[in-house]
Amino acid sequence: MNLVFMGTPAFAVPSLEALVAARFRPSLVITQPSARRSRRGEAERSELGAAAVKLGLDVMESEKISATPEFEKLTALKPDLIVVVAFGQILRKNVLTLPRFGCINLHPSKLPAYRGAAPIQRAIMDGVETSGITVMKIGVKLDAGPILAQKDFPISPEETAEEAGVRAAKDGAAMIVDVVRAYASGTPPKETPQDDALATYAHMLAKEDGAIHFDRPANRVWDQIRGVTPWPRAYTYHPGKRGVTRLIVHRAEPATNTSGAAPGTITAINQRGIEIACATTSLVLTRLQAEGKPVREAADFLRGFPMEPGERLSARP
């Protein structure tokens, strides 16, 4: 089986490692070009590119794989199958029709639900308790190709998108190996068409998705905080004596208290953290930071950033 693997972030690494461990060693790994990954750092390989180098694999960086000369190199390999995991490019028809068995993709949702760029994040933000993982054949329409393998994926009520993504990457890696093995054995997996009428979409996150609006139920605010971790992070503004400060919320937990205070009002400060009134009950902020400062547990944070009951947080400065 002549494989080519395409991917870029850490989410793709378990699938590549699992394929190599199962003796499906890609003849080429294609990833997005090196980029700066910190404000002061130099350009670095993608997480997948770095992992591929450690595995001794041939790596090619490409900004647009459907264009020459990258496409010419891909064509010369005559791949049987292309495996795509979080590559970050939409594959054009010339790439999709090149391999003998086509191109397959790992998508962390139960398709046709949550098609698009942020399926785990949007599912958590919607309060979904059981999502899914799908291996599908890639078609021209985004995330709409036939399903090759699929399983349920429970999401813990405490789990962030970052944490769920790590689990989904590992679970999905095993599914990718099973599908590749089926092609290699001469019995390709059954292709089950998606029902477009049931499709929902998980649009790419924007910075504004992190703005906390406390005029919603506390559990929904907590779902938002979990869903936007690690990016863009949930944030709110504190109008203190030092001026307005942007606060980034890393952890919180719903409370059962009902104060009757306006949403966003600090109703209590105690051992649990900073209690904020929401539309119904309250939310306790337990881990946060002032912008540009270290992340702190609430008790430590308050030693350097005093807050008082009655002050009101808001989504805008």
Q: What is the CATH number of domain 207-304?
A: 3.10.25.10
pLDDT given for residue 99 in this prediction: 98
pLDDT given for residue 237 in this prediction: 98
Q: Provide the 10 A C-beta neighbour count for residue 315.
A: 15
Q: Provide the 10 A C-beta neighbour count for residue 217.
A: 16
Please check the confidence at residue 68 and state whether its pLDDT lies above 90. no
Q: Phi-psi category of 114—alpha, beta or left, where left has phi over 0 and alpha has psi -120 to 50?
A: left
Please check the confidence at residue 265 and state whether its pLDDT lies above 70. yes
Outline which parts of the chain fall under CATH 3.40.50.170. 3-198
pLDDT given for residue 34 in this prediction: 85
Please check the confidence at residue 36 and state whether its pLDDT lies above 80. no
Cβ(305)–Cβ(244) below 8 Å:
no
pLDDT given for residue 24 in this prediction: 98
Outline which parts of the chain fall under CATH 3.10.25.10. 207-304
pLDDT band with cut points at 50, 70 and 90 for residue 256: confident
Can you give the C-alpha Rg of the chain in angstroms? 23
Q: Provide the 10 A C-beta neighbour count for residue 13.
A: 24
| Size (the chain), residues | 317
214-235 tens-digit pLDDT: 999 999 999 999 999 999 999 9
pLDDT given for residue 40 in this prediction: 59
Work out the percent of the chain whose per-residue pLDDT is above 70.
Answer: 98
User: Greater confidence, 241 or 108?
Assistant: 108
CA distance linking residue 227 with residue 208, whole number of Å: 13
User: Greater confidence, 122 or 40?
Assistant: 122
Please check the confidence at residue 241 and state whether its pLDDT lies above 90. no
pLDDT given for residue 37 in this prediction: 59
Work out the percent of the chain whose per-residue pLDDT is above 90.
Answer: 92
Identify the DSSP state of 11: G
CATH topology (fold) of 3-198: Rossmann fold (3.40.50)
Average pLDDT of 248-268? 93
Average pLDDT of 40-60? 91
pLDDT given for residue 39 in this prediction: 59
pLDDT given for residue 42 in this prediction: 74
Long-range contact set of residues 87-93: C-beta below 8 Å, sequence gap at least 24: 87/6, 87/7, 87/8, 87/12, 87/30, 87/31, 87/32, 88/8, 88/9, 88/32, 89/6, 89/32, 89/62, 89/64, 89/65, 90/142, 91/65, 91/66, 91/138, 92/66, 93/140
178-211 tens-digit pLDDT: 999 999 999 999 999 999 999 999 999 999 999 9
pLDDT given for residue 1 in this prediction: 94
Please check the confidence at residue 56 and state whether its pLDDT lies above 80. yes
pLDDT given for residue 38 in this prediction: 59
Average pLDDT of 80-87? 98
CA distance linking residue 140 with residue 91, whole number of Å: 8
pLDDT given for residue 311 in this prediction: 96
Average pLDDT of 141-146? 97
CA distance linking residue 286 with residue 302, whole number of Å: 11
